[in-house]
Amino acid sequence: MGEGRPGREIVKKSTAALHVGLEIGQELPFAAGPVFASAYHLSGDPAQATYAYARSSNPSWASLEEVLGALEGGRARVFPSGMAAIAAVLTSLLEPGDRLVLPSDGYSITRQFAHTYLDRWGVDVVEIPTAGADLSVLPEGIDLLWLETPSNPMLDLCDIEVLATRAHDEGALVVVDNTTATPYLQSPLELGADVSVSSDTKAVNGHSDVLMGHVASRCDEILEGVALWRTLNGAIPGPMETWLVHRGLMTMGVRVDRQVATAGRVAELLAEHPAVTAVRYPGLVGDPSYALARRQMSAPGFLVGFTFEDAAAAERFLSEASLVYDATSFGGIHTTAERRARWGTDEVPEGFIRMSVGLEDPADLLADISLALDRVSG
């Protein structure tokens, strides 16, 4: 997991999030502030310098990358958004003629990127759904298998270890979008994936005020490829945003623990209410992903999916629930929810809501949700 003081191994991710990536020394602050620089003092051979020009390197990135790498069980590179991280991986790993397999039920903008650019660059993009049975047969000639588990928005899971083994037998690389699970609850690299990508806009930062993303891997060539893409492409994380994400990340353990605990109770409440026709939560006994979630994740997450009979009932719920902000995105300290069909990009029922459970006191939140559900029933 990394070291705190020299020679002292850190075992738990919540401790690593607090201690890794900080410079410890007499009279230094616990966490250094953002380093604002475009240039650094530099004489002599720039090839010997760690910090030569700030499009390629920055000390604030280095601190955040160190802690994210420790949490992912590899090494990390940060990007100015989750999509920037995803685009860096897809662009640096794929070549014309390659075959990419993407989840048909995963984050819609990843699919949009693939169909807008990769198709045009001669990559064959194949979509298959996340749910296990359909992934058991991977298409021939696959070069890159992209997984997203739990998938956003329907929260299906797939078995990273089994699929990584199968894909590696085919000679393919495996990337996992770890955003919904978080590096705190799931370790794709340990399960055999070659790359883990994440939108740190979500629970890693946790405060709904910054966009950020990262790529993690144990393979130097892959990391060099995405870092080169970042340098040449020129879209880089700002030092202030990087520092804010690092500050948010330090409390990820305690935040996510609380969010998961409340999410379990919210899922149970929803499952018992007559206004709700279906609930998806990988921690709910009886959910199709329950057994796999127990094996693959250290806890089932803070996202809950549930369905009302139609769009009007779902919208009524959103307007009645006063502690649930109607917003897209997820993973923040405030509970948020949205009727996903309003975007028209996902194959979801009209009455389906994805809720991200936040840090409100569980009693207040459950009472608020319960009242809103009763009002929907009418």
Give me the residues that bind ligand PLP (CB under 6 A), please: 81-83, 86, 107, 148, 152, 177, 179-180, 199, 201, 211, 213, 329
Provide, rounded to whole angstroms, the least separation between the CB of residue 95 and ligand PLP: 23
Give CA–CA dist 102/172, Å, rounded: 13
- Closest residue to ligand PLP, judged by C-beta, is 82
Nearest to ligand PLP of 10, 189 (CB atom): 189
Provide, rounded to whole angstroms, the least separation between the CB of residue 172 and ligand PLP: 20
Question: Are 219 and 64 spatial neighbours (Cβ–Cβ below 8 Å)?
Answer: no
Nearest to ligand PLP of 18, 102 (CB atom): 102
Give CA–CA dist 230/292, Å, rounded: 35
Nearest to ligand PLP of 65, 316 (CB atom): 65
Provide, rounded to whole angstroms, the least separation between the CB of residue 177 and ligand PLP: 5
Amino acid residing at 76: A
Residue 24 is given by DSSP the state: P
Nearest to ligand PLP of 105, 148 (CB atom): 148
Nearest to ligand PLP of 63, 152 (CB atom): 152
- Dihedral sign computed on CA atoms, order 82, 85, 86, 87: positive
Provide, rounded to whole angstroms, the least separation between the CB of residue 178 and ligand PLP: 9
Find, among 253, 188, 179, the residue nearest to 212 by Cα.
179
**Residue-by-residue DSSP string for 165-216:** HHHHHTT-EEEEE-TTT-TTT--TTTTT-SEEEEETTTTTT-SSS---EEEE
Using DSSP, state whether 336 is helix, strand or coil: strand
The number of residues in the chain equals 378
Nearest to ligand PLP of 83, 125 (CB atom): 83
Provide, rounded to whole angstroms, the least separation between the CB of residue 101 and ligand PLP: 16
What does the angle CA 143 – CA 144 – CA 146 come to, to the nearest 5 degrees?
160
Nearest to ligand PLP of 130, 152 (CB atom): 152
Give CA–CA dist 294/260, Å, rounded: 13
